[in-house]
Amino acid sequence: MKLVTGNSNRALAEAVASYLEVPLTDCTVKRFNDKEIFVEIHENVRGEDVFILQSTSYPANDNLMELLILSDALRRSSARRITAVIPYFGYARQDRKSASRTPISAKLVANLITEAGVNRVVTLDLHAAQIQGFFDIPTDNLYGAPVMVRDIQEHYSPNGNVMIVSPDVGGVARARATAQRIGADLAIVDKRRPKAGVSEVMNIIGDVSGHACILIDDIVDSGGTLVNAAEALLKAGATEVSAYITHGVLSEGAAERIAASKLKELVITDSIIATDAAKAAKNIRIISIAPLMGEAIARTASEQSVSSLLD
């Protein structure tokens, strides 16, 4: 087995390599003067089972191109099987035609990855589960819920009157699964989004009075939804509000917005490398998915069940 990484999240790749007790494959991923990407694999990979660990997070286009070029280099080097391990799958939010004359970018990216020579994809908490169907190759969509549930159980008393909250109607299934795992009740934030990136909380479905509320979602980008939801929940009688989000996109200004908000804590995974602002925020905490991704890689390599990781 060989483990290769680009520049998107080397810290996570090193943690996964440590978990697997497999060294990262020696390779060069750099830029020409005009910013074209240059890749060279310095080890023999002929006949090897190769895993590329690369999130397509910011800068999304650069990281995506690194993944594609790495795949092409490995295919042309006669790797036996190439598995793209994509902790954060970029362009997943464009999974359907939301208006006339708009693209389905998630399908385009799936086609690009397949045509680059990837034989299998392992990813984490896709924004829309149906994106698995965009690939014509085997695709495993892991869930961050087991990692988050363990952390919730470590930091919240089982009798602490915890309530799981979905920040929108679309995320109810994800929040309900977490609530069932810890035996908590479920509430929903009903919001209206006037335009992309702007959300307005309208109503709370469920009685949150006297509860410690935990918001569950897959992506936090601008942070506006979480901040508005936290304020609405506190006004509705919640004693405190925290959030567990798999992918901390945290675009410019988001970490500062979270730090200044009424959120007790935002917990994100290291699927995306944290910005300096996120690391500096006192109410943002990062938990690692390296053991989860490492175990998924090990089981894929040995042809064992990956779905059992979701139990």
User: Where is the binding site for Mg(2+), in residues?
Assistant: 127, 168
CA 140-165-294 angle, 5° bins = 30
The C-alpha torsion from 60 through 270 and 141 to 302, rounded to 10°, is: 110
| Binding-site sequence positions for ATP | 34-36, 93-94
d(CA 88, CA 291): 16
Q: Is 282 a catalytic residue?
A: no
What are the residues whose beta carbons fall under 8 Å from the beta carbon of 226, sequence distance 6 or more?
167, 215, 217, 220, 243, 245, 258, 261, 263, 266
Which token pair is 223? Answer: 């942070």
- How many residues in the chain? 311
| Binding-site sequence positions | 34-36, 93-94, 127, 168, 193, 217, 221-225
What are the residues whose beta carbons fall under 8 Å from the beta carbon of 297, sequence distance 6 or more?
1, 3, 16, 20, 51, 83, 85, 122
* Amino acid, single-letter form, for residue 238: A
Q: Using an 8 Å Cβ cutoff, are 246 and 142 in contact?
A: no
> CB count, 10 Å around CB of 303?
7
H or E element at residue 203 = strand 198-205
Choose the catalytic residue: 107, 191, 262, 264.
191
Alpha helix ranges (H) inside 97-144: 105-115
| Binding-site sequence positions for D-ribose 5-phosphate | 193, 217, 221-225
CA atoms within 13 A on the CB side of 41: 25
Nearest to 190 by CA among 232, 140, 143: 232
Phi-psi region of 15 (alpha: psi -120 to 50; beta: other; left: phi over 0): alpha
Strands 27-31, 37-41: parallel, antiparallel or unpaired by DSSP? Answer: antiparallel
Catalytic residue IDs: 191
